[in-house]
Amino acid sequence: MLSPLAATLAPKEDLVNVALLISAYYEKKPDINIPTQCVAFGTSGHRGSALKKSFNKDHVLAITQAVCEYKKKMKYEGVLYIGKDTHALSAPAQISTIRVCAANGIYVCISQNDEYTPTPLVSFAILEHNKNAKESADGIVITPSHNPPEDGGFKYNPPNGGPADTDVTSLIEKRANEILANNLKDVKIVSYEEAISSKYIKEYDFITPYVKALGEIVDMKAIQGAKLKIAADPLGGSSIAVYKKIKEYYNLDMEIIHPYADFTFSFMTLDHDGKIRMDCSSPYAMASLLKLKDNYDLAFANDTDADRHGIVTPKGGLINPNHYLSVAIWYLFKYRENFTKDLKVGKTLVSSSMIDRVCKSLGRQVYEVPVGFKWFVEGLYEGWLGFGGEESAGASYLRDDGSVWTTDKDGMIMTLLAAEIIAVTGKDIADIYADFEKEFGVSYYARIDAPATLEQKKMLKNLNVDAIKTDKLAGEKIEAVFTKAAGNGAAIGGLKIVTKNGWVAMRPSGTEDIYKIYAESFLSREHLTLIQKEAQKITQSLFA
């Protein structure tokens, strides 16, 4: 249900009490016997709130010790790059992390001058280091991404630079919970003063090498030549200093909106549910930037750790993430001369089928995977996946010469790519997508939620295709049923049903008592609604 406060600024009395939050980080102790207070790595690491005892000092100490042990076990003897975003819990969590790393004899690079560091810059640093070094470097990003201000998060990136796969995170999660259960007795730790003055902790310039290399993945000269008037909104996140450097280095006509960190994020308009959430794909969270759309040739935003992108144009307003992914893919595989014909296009199974239709017109093979950017890491790293993108506005792609850039989502190259597309084609992103609709049909896409118990969610997650007894969906013959992704054969943790002109996917939520229904129709909005209703009937029959 849409909150009456959606797209408005939060009342001051509802803003997070930062002092109380940080006090809770240090003082509140999680109970290992309560599942919600244990370490749990989802698709983007461990997340929680100190106020709810799900992201506290004990969690960070335990996870860091587990990472140090894993790093030594795998003989990753290179430096550990650590980045943090602007959530209030990120700074104290970095202090905790540094104390454990130094005690374990792990060499660490943290950002110089205590700057904030976006997720893609950590991935970039890892990959650049590992090009020539004998010892493998890896990284940690302390961020809950676009989550509310009271949340904290912790991600581990192995030497391939991308988010760790479940075979890695499950080991770290299990060991961290063992450490918690043993009252942190296995944690090696020194004081912050001893850690920061030790030989193990060094400052590192994450920003300059990344900014200077941008010309290898985005046509910065085309952007300069077009003299576009641009607005960049870091949403008070970790990309603030990066955009300042980009503006200076490339001499762009770019205004930076909200160029400061505010731990309450009081400048954010509330999301659909009345919560502060730095979701650059939400029209409610992006309401302030949308008001400025006619003042610029292009406006864009990133979430707090800058792995997601939000694109705003005069004609299109906030461009739907699926629409922009389709345009970006079309542009890259049409205009990048060194993108060889064998390069594949990666998409998640709940991304729009417009991508499939665009790729077919380009003669490109689609590589469809389950939800989660980790499924694109190998392809980007090895250079056979030219692009990998998620419906939730996260993507990365190869450099102009076909080599790897980042293996984690990079919201900043995606925002700058939008500027390149406008500069080179002379068209608004919305106009390019409108051409797709004329050629390939109009897409009607939506995600809704439906209630589900814990047992029902487990059932949905472990379904077999034989469980589907019907042969029709919304009046059309079912062409395929998937419980494993078509591209890599990995379990999707749910179900996808495909017809000629539509599809639906049902996946259980990892944190709420709901399951998510993603659906798309190329016939009509009414057909989309019918797909959604029949999908719920099918699911309820499975639960019966």
- What's 167-220 look like in SS3? HHHHHHHHHHHHHHHCCCCCCCCCCHHHHHCCCCEEEECCHHHHHHHHHHCCCH
SS3 79: coil
Cα 37 to Cα 53: distance, rounded to the nearest angstrom: 6
Exposed e or buried b per residue across 108-117, where buried means at least 16 C-beta atoms within 10 angstroms of its C-beta: bbbbeeebbb
- Record the tokens describing residue 36, joined without a space: 């919600």
CB 410 within 8 A of CB 376: no
How many Å from the N-terminal Cα to the C-terminal Cα in the chain? 27
Q: Which residues are known catalytic residues?
A: 145
Owner of token pair 């244990």: 38
The β-bridge relationship of strands 444-451 and 41-42 is unpaired
Exposed e or buried b per residue across 44-79, where buried means at least 16 C-beta atoms within 10 angstroms of its C-beta: bbbbbbbbebbbbbbbbbbbbbbbbbbbeeeebebb
Cα 484 to Cα 486: distance, rounded to the nearest angstrom: 6
CA 307, 85, 143, 175 torsion: positive or negative?
Answer: positive
Cα 97 to Cα 91: distance, rounded to the nearest angstrom: 10
H/E run at residue 41: strand 41-42
CB 110 within 8 A of CB 94: yes
Beta bridge partners of 346: 367, 388
- Report the candidate in 169, 146, 174, 173 with the shortest Cα–Cα distance to residue 158: 169
254: Cβ contacts below 8 Å, ≥ 6 apart: 230, 231, 232, 243, 246, 247
Cβ-count burial of 198 within 10 angstroms (0-12 exposed, 13-18 middle, 19+ buried)?
middle
Helix runs in 38-87, H state only = 57-73
Beta bridge partners of 97: none
- Report the candidate in 421, 129, 411 with the shortest Cα–Cα distance to residue 242: 411
Cα 94 to Cα 141: distance, rounded to the nearest angstrom: 9
- Record the tokens describing residue 540, joined without a space: 């309820």
